[in-house]
A and B are shown apart, each in its own frame.
Chain A
Amino acid sequence: MTVDTAARTESTPLTHRQLPRRIVPVVLAVSIAAGAGLAALVGFSLPALAILSAVVFTVAITTVSGVVEGRRKAVDRLVTTLVYSAFAVALVPLISVVWSVLDNGLVRFGADFLNTSMRNVTGLHDQEAVEGIGPYIGGAYHALLGTFLITALATAISVPVGLMTSIYLVEYGRGKLAKAIRFFVDVMTGIPSIVAGLFAASLFAVLFGVGTRNGFAGAVALSVLMIPVVVRSSEEMLRIVPNELREAAYALGVPKWRTIVKVVLPTAVSGIASGVTLAIARVVGETAPLIVTAGFTSSINSNPFSDWMMSLPAYVYSSAMRPLSGSEPQPSFDRAWAAALTLVIIVMALNLIARLIARIFAPKTGR
């Protein structure tokens, strides 16, 4: 395209000279070769090769473009290169996180890991396992159970409160109270999770005595984090319910509260459900509030109202930071990674479920 226009306007050049499209791969190949050469000088390694090639490419393409195409094009090419490299640089840690969770987690992950607890597992077992005398034992059943119970309790507290509040904000609330609630829900979104944990811990210390730790305290801490998320997402969903639906119900003489329960909520239910699922996904991995409220244990505890309760994030934390055996920490690290993998699978599954809910149960639009 550029070639014909250039040919036609040869007498008064309206177009600038342009580099051919294939200049980019050519310069890239040359830069990688040069980068390899430079990397060999400083001691060859893959990161060094990548960084040096990227630097050489950036300088080369900008210079070539500056000479042939002019300053403006050169700046454009420079920025394009920077944007692509920012993306590439960001991929490195993100891929590495996912890869190390999979690679290290799969060492111990399996039915056995999910079905056993850490009760009576000691550093001695780990040492024997490493020496090949005994089997690798110990799992995260108690933590999985704890996470399930604590999250379920938190959901049971947060969803009614959050949903009712969003109904108030959308259907009833106007004036100072609604404004105050909306503002403070925003404030609540920004509470650091550890502060929510401290709140629950000091609440239970005042009510039931200092040092009270149980699953319910953890659920209260998680609720403080979960309620604002539920309010915000449900509020958004209730707002997009068309007003015509409400007016049609009123016109038929349906009371307002029945309109809300029978017309507005069913219309918004897919969005609300997916918002709740995302909120669960957000709190299920919270660690800090649980280690100050629910504590740690190696035994199965199915009663969230008494005694310390393990959760998956706390399990990851304690296995990684306080290995059972000081001399052979690797079995503990493997367990930490396997628990981290379990946690990531749960979070990803919840996100997927949220998307599916939103898609499958979405109200039929159009008439």
Chain B
Amino acid sequence: MTTSTEPATKPPGRPRRAKVRPGDRNFSWATRAAGVLILIVLAGVAAFLVREAIPAFRADPAEIDGGEGFFAYVWPLVFGTLVAAFIALIIATPLALGIALFISHYAPRRMAQGLGYVVDLLAAIPSVVYGLWGIQWLAPNVRGTWEWLADNLGFIPLFAGPASATGRTMMTAGVVLAVMILPIITAIAREVFLQTPTLHQEAALALGATRWEMIRMAVLPFGRPGLISGVMLGLGRALGETMAVAMVLSTGGFTWSMVSSGNNTIAAEIALDFPESAGIETNTLIAAGLVLFVITLAVNMLARWIVARREAFSGAN
């Protein structure tokens, strides 16, 4: 695609070099400068984070929050971040798959288009609104469910009681995150399902497949890489999401129980503590931010790699 303008700019076998107009030169330099500026900004993000984080790595372990050094401080946060995102994915992935299939293959055509718009709009609702909904509506309403889990499945460490009296638990935060990433995964999954070649689907139906068999044989194999990358992007969003967790979760120290208060995520810890932090505490929070940056970077790279691998194959379709 990049080379498509080439014939226009470099006619082959041009006898003489045309004079470069100053306007052309300035404009191309201006556009290049903008591109380089982006690289500088990104390098700046990394450089400033590292620069401000280094004191936290070097500091005397006793000075760090918790008194046992940076890594003892950060690992429960990393755990919380991963667990919240994991809960969100477990809930959101099957639902998103269902909704995407509903929109692409089950709903009447006219309704499907409207639903597509609605899903896009829901993806645009700011996270602070989801956070407000989570703390004021969801937490009181799911409290009973967590109590039931703690009473009946309390022998599993994840559901060990006593359940939180406010409902502001890791499970609730996970549910809010799931609701937030649902539109994102759905939008991508719907897009790839709609791109399934019609001939494959018609061939399956012509051979007598039921609708589900057609979906299983034609749609899902075609859409699997797209679905996986959608899930990974949702995961990236859930890992970096701050406000929903900061507002919904009643934070505290590390605990295995997902239905009592406690645990925290990196992003929420930064949002809650950064405004009032000073000195080495600021450095510690920035170092935690660096850890989060690295985790989300890895997840996003993996997602891009999966998408890119699919692009390599898509020429055959």
Interface residues of A (CB under 8 A from B): 72-73, 75-76, 79-80, 82-87, 89-90, 93-94, 96-97, 100-101, 104, 160-165, 167-174, 177-178, 180-181, 184-196, 198-199, 201-203, 205-206, 210-211, 224, 227-228, 231, 239, 243, 246-247, 250, 255-258, 260-261, 278, 281-282, 284-288, 291-292, 295-296, 313, 316-317, 320-321, 333, 336-337, 340, 343-344, 347-348, 351
From B4, B51, B128, B293, contact of A343 by CB (8 A): B128
The answer to whether A195 touches B121, judged by C-beta atoms less than 8 angstroms apart, is no
The answer to whether B95 touches A101, judged by C-beta atoms less than 8 angstroms apart, is no
The answer to whether B136 touches A76, judged by C-beta atoms less than 8 angstroms apart, is no
Q: Which one of B27, B99, B297 has the greatest number of beta carbons of chain A within 10 Å?
A: B27
Contacts of B299 in A (CB 8 A): 190
* Contact of B108 with A by CB under 8 A: no
Can you report 19 residue pairs joining A to B where beta carbons are below 8 Å apart?
A90-B96, A90-B99, A97-B125, A167-B31, A171-B31, A186-B300, A190-B240, A194-B240, A195-B240, A198-B270, A206-B48, A227-B41, A257-B27, A285-B125, A292-B275, A317-B128, A320-B135, A333-B136, A336-B132
The answer to whether B121 touches A348, judged by C-beta atoms less than 8 angstroms apart, is yes
The answer to whether A161 touches B38, judged by C-beta atoms less than 8 angstroms apart, is yes
Top 9 A-B pairs, shortest CB-CB distance: A285-B126, A86-B98, A192-B240, A164-B34, A190-B300, A257-B27, A168-B31, A288-B242, A76-B210
The answer to whether B242 touches A192, judged by C-beta atoms less than 8 angstroms apart, is yes
Bound complex: CA of A191 vs CA of B44, how far in Å?
13
Task: Give the distance to chain B from A111, nearest Cβ to Cβ, in Å.
Answer: 22
Bound complex: CA of A75 vs CA of B217, how far in Å?
14
Task: Give the distance to chain A from B288, nearest Cβ to Cβ, in Å.
Answer: 9
Bound complex: CA of A181 vs CA of B41, how far in Å?
11
Bound complex: CA of A188 vs CA of B301, how far in Å?
11
- Interfacial residues of chain B within 21-66, with CB under 8 A of chain A in the complex: 21, 23-24, 26-28, 30-39, 41-42, 44-45, 48-49, 51-52
From A83, A96, A169, A196, contact of B133 by CB (8 A): A96
- Interfacial residues of chain B within 258-317, with CB under 8 A of chain A in the complex: 267, 270-271, 274-275, 278, 282, 285-286, 289, 292-293, 296-297, 299-301, 304
Interface residues of B (CB under 8 A from A): 1-5, 8-9, 21, 23-24, 26-28, 30-39, 41-42, 44-45, 48-49, 51-52, 94-99, 101-102, 106, 120-122, 124-133, 135-138, 175, 179, 182, 186, 210-213, 215, 236, 239-243, 246-247, 267, 270-271, 274-275, 278, 282, 285-286, 289, 292-293, 296-297, 299-301, 304
* Contacts between chains A and B (CB distance < 8 A), count: 281
The answer to whether A191 touches B213, judged by C-beta atoms less than 8 angstroms apart, is no
The answer to whether B239 touches A313, judged by C-beta atoms less than 8 angstroms apart, is no
Bound complex: CA of A316 vs CA of B301, how far in Å?
33
Contact flag A246-B8 (CB < 8 Å), given A100-B137, A316-B129: yes
Contacts of A193 in B (CB 8 A): 240, 242
Contact flag A161-B124 (CB < 8 Å), given A87-B102, A94-B179, A191-B296: no
Bound complex: CA of A177 vs CA of B48, how far in Å?
23
The answer to whether A285 touches B128, judged by C-beta atoms less than 8 angstroms apart, is yes
Contacts of B212 in A (CB 8 A): 75-76, 79-80
The answer to whether B122 touches A94, judged by C-beta atoms less than 8 angstroms apart, is yes
Task: Give the distance to chain A from B236, nearest Cβ to Cβ, in Å.
Answer: 5
The answer to whether B35 touches A165, judged by C-beta atoms less than 8 angstroms apart, is yes
Bound complex: CA of A296 vs CA of B276, how far in Å?
12
Q: Which one of A94, A198, A255, A336 has the greatest number of beta carbons of chain B within 10 Å?
A: A198
From B23, B241, B292, contact of A258 by CB (8 A): B23
Contact flag A184-B38 (CB < 8 Å), given A190-B297, A194-B242, A285-B127: yes
- In the complex, the chain A residue whose C-beta lies closest to that of B2 is A174
Contact flag A169-B242 (CB < 8 Å), given A199-B49, A250-B8: no
- In the complex, the chain A residue whose C-beta lies closest to that of B105 is A83
Bound complex: CA of A260 vs CA of B243, how far in Å?
41
The answer to whether A101 touches B129, judged by C-beta atoms less than 8 angstroms apart, is yes
From A72, A94, A97, A351, contact of B124 by CB (8 A): A351
The answer to whether A100 touches B106, judged by C-beta atoms less than 8 angstroms apart, is no
Given A96-B137, A187-B297, 9 more contacts at CB 8 Å? A96-B138, A101-B133, A285-B128, A313-B128, A337-B136, A340-B132, A343-B126, A344-B125, A348-B121
From B95, B102, B240, B282, contact of A84 by CB (8 A): B102
